[in-house]
Amino acid sequence: MKLLEGKTAIITGASRGIGRGIAQVFAEQGANVAFTYSSSVEAGNALEKELKDVGVNAKGYQSNAASFEEAQKLADDVVNDFGSIDILVNNAGITKDNLLMRISEEDFDTVIEVNLKSVFNMTKAVQRTMLKQRKGSIINMSSVVGVKGNAGQTNYAASKAGIIGFSKSVALELGSRNIRSNVIAPGFIETEMTAKLDEATVKGWREGIPLKRGGTPEDVANACVFLASDLSAYVTGQTLNVDGGMLT
């Protein structure tokens, strides 16, 4: 029996990187996958076909999670297309790094809006369906930066720390209806973005991690499978660091 058989998941920001990895592993575990992308139509179409080839129902939606109205419409569309929403993975996120003395108000606001407000938008959008079902698992993607901070990332750290506080509050509000809310805090995950970095820099980061390697999107996805499945039926309000021991 696959761990997510018969469940429907919404995954935001899934056209590449960690989001794409989560979509692939969820499909392999039997979940029907509704996913969003912002501008990469070609990548979205390719992922939709790839997931369908696994044998599950899958559909990509071009939707901006930072928009309250678009998030509401997405939730309605997914219920119409799939019939239920059992899992929500809030993965959409961006960075606009700079030292505090140089960061612009616009860059601060944009990161908060895309990374943090999108979690509010999407959680509020799926809440009604999950309350009717009296079940649901919400998984919010934070970061080790949201746990410990990082110089040059005040906006990103604030958004990711905010996700942790938000998720704990949702866990307290919705626990009586069997709706769980948890957080994944990835560490250094090697994706298309990190592949563009200088190899010496990446090697230095790997050496500072107890497991001596960067993580993969699949490492994060496997943790999401646990939190999405009935294996974690008694787990809510928690933050799981998937960081190779980086914060230990």
Active centre residues (catalytic): 156
Task: Judge whether 22 is annotated as a binding position.
Answer: no
Task: Judge whether 160 is annotated as a binding position.
Answer: yes
Residue type, 205: W
Task: Judge whether 157 is annotated as a binding position.
Answer: yes
Count of Cβ atoms closer than 10 Å to residue 17 Cβ: 19
Task: Judge whether 156 is annotated as a binding position.
Answer: yes
Alpha-carbon distance of 158 to 164, in angstroms, equals 10
Place of tokens 């005040």: 154
Task: Judge whether 151 is annotated as a binding position.
Answer: no
DSSP-derived pairing of the beta strands 87-90 and 8-11: parallel
Task: Judge whether 143 is annotated as a binding position.
Answer: no
Task: Judge whether 159 is annotated as a binding position.
Answer: yes
Task: Judge whether 91 is annotated as a binding position.
Answer: yes
Task: Judge whether 152 is annotated as a binding position.
Answer: no
Residue 29 has what DSSP assignment? T
Closest by CA position to 224, among listed 18, 5, 8: 18
**3 state DSSP class of 127:** helix
For helices 17-28 and 41-54, the axis angle rounded to 10 degrees is 20
Annotated binding site for NADP(+): 13-16, 91, 156-160, 189
Annotated binding site: 13-16, 91, 156-160, 189
